[in-house]
Amino acid sequence: MKKASKQRPKEESRQYMPMQSSEGLGKRKIGIMGGTFDPVHYGHLVAAEEAYFSLGLSEVIFVPTGDSFHKEDLPVSQVEHRYNMTMLATLDNPHFRLSRIEIDRKAPSHTVDTLREMRHWFSPNGVCFHFITGLDAVLNIASWKEPEAIADLGKIVAVSRPGYNPQILDHLPDEIKQSLIPLEIPLLAISSTAIRNRVREGKSIRYLVPWPVEHYIYKSNLYYRNGW
Radius of gyration for the chain, computed over Cα atoms and rounded to the nearest angstrom: 18
Q: Are 128 and 156 in contact (CB under 8 A)?
A: no
**192: contact with ligand ATP by CB under 6 A:** yes
Interface with ligand ATP in residues 67-86 (CB under 6 A): none
Closest of 132, 130, 40 to residue 90, by C-alpha: 40
- In the complex, the smallest distance separating the C-beta of residue 186 from ligand ATP, rounded to whole angstroms, is 9
Q: How far apart are CA 48 and CA 108, in angstroms?
A: 24
CB neighbour burial string for 35-63, b if at least 16 within 10 angstroms, e if fewer: bbbbbbbbbbbbbbbbbbebbebbbbbbb
Considering only 119-127, 133-141, 144-152, 202-210, which stretch makes contact with ligand ATP by CB under 6 A?
A: 133-141
**115: contact with ligand ATP by CB under 6 A:** no
**137: contact with ligand ATP by CB under 6 A:** yes
Counting DSSP H helices and E strands in the chain, the numbers are 9, 6
Q: How far apart are CA 43 and CA 40, in angstroms?
A: 8
**220: contact with ligand ATP by CB under 6 A:** no
Considering only 17-25, 104-112, 129-137, 143-151, which stretch makes contact with ligand ATP by CB under 6 A?
A: 129-137
Residue 197 zone, left/alpha/beta (φ > 0; ψ -120 to 50; rest):
alpha
- In the complex, the smallest distance separating the C-beta of residue 187 from ligand ATP, rounded to whole angstroms, is 7
**147: contact with ligand ATP by CB under 6 A:** no
Considering only 20-28, 84-92, 188-196, 212-220, which stretch makes contact with ligand ATP by CB under 6 A?
A: 188-196
Number of other residues whose CB lies within 10 A of the CB of residue 78: 13
Beta bridge partners of residue 28, listed in sequence order? 127
- In the complex, the smallest distance separating the C-beta of residue 196 from ligand ATP, rounded to whole angstroms, is 7
Site string for ligand ATP, 152-181 (x = CB under 6 A): -------x-x--------------------
Binding site for ligand ATP (CB under 6 A): 35-38, 43-44, 47, 133-134, 136-137, 159, 161, 188, 190-193
